[in-house]
Amino acid sequence: MPNPQPGFHRLAAAIVIGAVFFLAYGRASAQTPDVRNGDGRVSEFYTWTGAIPKPGTPLRTEALPPTLGLAGATGVRFLYASTDGVDGTSRVAVSGALFVPAGTAPRGGWPVIAWAHGTVGIADICAPSWSARSYRDVAYLQTWLAQGYAIVATDYQGLGTPGVHPYLNARSEAYSVLDSVRAALTLEPSFAHRIVIVGQSQGAGAAFATAGYASRYAPDLDLRGTVATGIPYFAPDAPSASPSDPTAVDPGIAYIFYSCSACSRTIRRSSRPTCSPRRPFRSSSRRDRRASRRSKTTSRSRA
């Protein structure tokens, strides 16, 4: 049985390591449209030019066109303030959609499902609030609406709105989900303060991260549960040649290239980099560095 060439595995490992480095050390650029980031080809609704208020604040709304709506619900596209999940401090505008079930809300309001979508791409035109949703996603959302849930569906940071979409950045996705719910609760008095997070694929990672960040970032939200299906996982040897056709490429590598693309446009060198080619793993404390120098001095003395 032919084996994949070693160079392919090294390439895959390098891509994964680069993506992990991005998740840990990336810095986001300002919300200035840049076609190299996949920005543009959406309406002016998605570009917020004013000051951005505190996270979770609604910025503006408009009705979803019928082609993007769901049966038996009122669909609204909305823009809201959030925190840049890459640098953890800057404020950004994020887009999304909400769906209000038809009829009269039950006592206490409609319970809310915060929907975290799966991979759709990294360009603005891929944002679910701008493009049509997949048949599977529509089936999911329609089922929950029929059961009496309202839906809040973020697009995620940089997807629809200007700036890089930090694909698979856990904190970025978590902040986008949590602030979308905050904004929706302000926009819709009929929504209950009872939230369940549901995500699939990329969204499963987002849902998992949202549950983890919620107590610190959004303790004001009453999260009742989390459902995550198909959480993505990358291993260095994941992309491999087909046993029957060694020239075939695993289509899953496209997801890694999404991460790599976001990584290449998001990492910025700092004045004191944590990693460098000469020193791959820098000591994390002065005490460690002093101990390292003492060890080198002792070794030279013995020599």
Give 33-67 pLDDT, tens digit per residue.
Answer: 677 667 889 999 999 999 999 999 999 999 999 99
Please report whether residue 28 resides in a domain: yes
Q: Determine the structural domain holding residue 44 and report its residue range.
A: 6-266
Please report whether residue 41 resides in a domain: yes
CATH of residue 130's domain is 3.40.50.1820
Q: Please state the length of the chain.
A: 303
One-letter amino acid identity for 102? A
Q: How far apart are CA 260 and CA 20, in angstroms?
A: 10
Q: How far apart are CA 31 and CA 49, in angstroms?
A: 9
Q: Is 94 helix (H, G, I), strand (E, B) or coil?
A: strand
Please report whether residue 160 resides in a domain: yes
The answer to whether 81 touches 93, Cβ cutoff 8 Å, is yes
The pLDDT assigned to 220 comes to 97
Q: How far apart are CA 290 and CA 8, in angstroms?
A: 40
| Total number of domains constituting the chain | 1
Please report whether residue 297 resides in a domain: no
Please report whether residue 302 resides in a domain: no
Q: How far apart are CA 185 and CA 187, in angstroms?
A: 6
DSSP letter for 231, please. Answer: -
Please report whether residue 148 resides in a domain: yes
pLDDT band at 266 (very low <50, low <70, confident <90, very high): low
Q: How far apart are CA 177 and CA 96, in angstroms?
A: 9
The pLDDT assigned to 240 comes to 58
For 87-139, write each residue's pLDDT tens digit: 999 999 999 999 999 999 999 999 999 999 999 998 999 999 999 899 999 99
Please report whether residue 279 resides in a domain: no
